Amino acid sequence: MRVLIQRVERACVRVDDVEVGAIGLGYLLLVGVQIGDSQAQVDQAVRKLLNLRLFQDAQGKTNLNISQAGGAALVVSQFTLAANLKNGNRPSFDSAAPANLAQALYQSLADGLKNQGLTVETGRFGADMKVELVNDGPATYTLEIPPNV
């Protein structure tokens, strides 16, 4: 599982010009599910995302986790995070999980964050989405939790 974490001042996602999710301060989480991923990767990602200290405290140090900062999460599926660019000029998506598994694990990640008290908005799995964000910093991080193949 790969999660691209963008610390944002605000972010939203639209499908067919209709806003389906929006947050203020928090994380835009782009989630790529790979073959071999399971609930174990989701559980590990949820724990890590809740505990990462990526927000600044009153002294300007990155000492606050998302809950302490009063943040929310916008969770968006992005299968292109499973792309392999090593060979040729066209990405290979051979390591991307099948859609039914990817959707279930993506939803489980969003639900896991929500169940821990975080405000969570989502995109629409499989849709052509338009994502807008104001990246704070800019601060972008990659969380990679290898599949159990």
Q: Which tokens go with 132?
A: 């807008």
Q: Given this model, what pLDDT does residue 55 score?
A: 97
Residue 63 lies in a domain: yes
Q: Is 134 inside a domain boundary?
A: yes
Q: Read off the tokens for 81.
A: 């995070």
Spot the catalytic one: 6, 34, 55, 79: 79
Reply yes or no on whether 79 is catalytic.
yes
Q: Is residue 45 assigned to a domain?
A: yes
- Catalytically annotated residue among 68, 80, 116, 142: 80
**Residue 149 domain-assigned (yes or no):** no
Query: What's the residue count for the chain?
Result: 149
Q: What is the CATH number of the domain that holds 118?
A: 3.50.80.10
129 occurs within a structural domain = yes
Is 125 known to be catalytic?
no
CA–CA separation, 64 and 71 (whole Å): 10
Tens digit of pLDDT at every position of the chain (149 positions): 999 999 999 999 999 999 999 999 999 999 999 999 999 999 999 999 999 999 999 999 999 999 999 999 999 999 999 999 999 999 999 999 999 999 999 999 999 999 999 999 999 999 999 999 999 999 999 999 987 64
Q: E-assigned strands of the chain?
A: 2-15, 18-23, 26-32, 55-56, 62-64, 72-77, 119-122, 129-144
Q: Which element (helix H / strand E) includes 113?
A: helix 99-115
Total domains present in the chain: 1
Q: Is residue 28, in this structure, part of any structural domain at all? A: yes
Question: Per the domain annotation, does 75 fall within a domain?
Answer: yes
Instruction: Compute the distance between CA of residue 41 and CA of residue 80 in angstroms, rounded to an integer.
Output: 18
Structural domain for 8, as ranges: 2-144
67, part of any domain: yes
Contact 11, 28 (CB under 8 A): yes
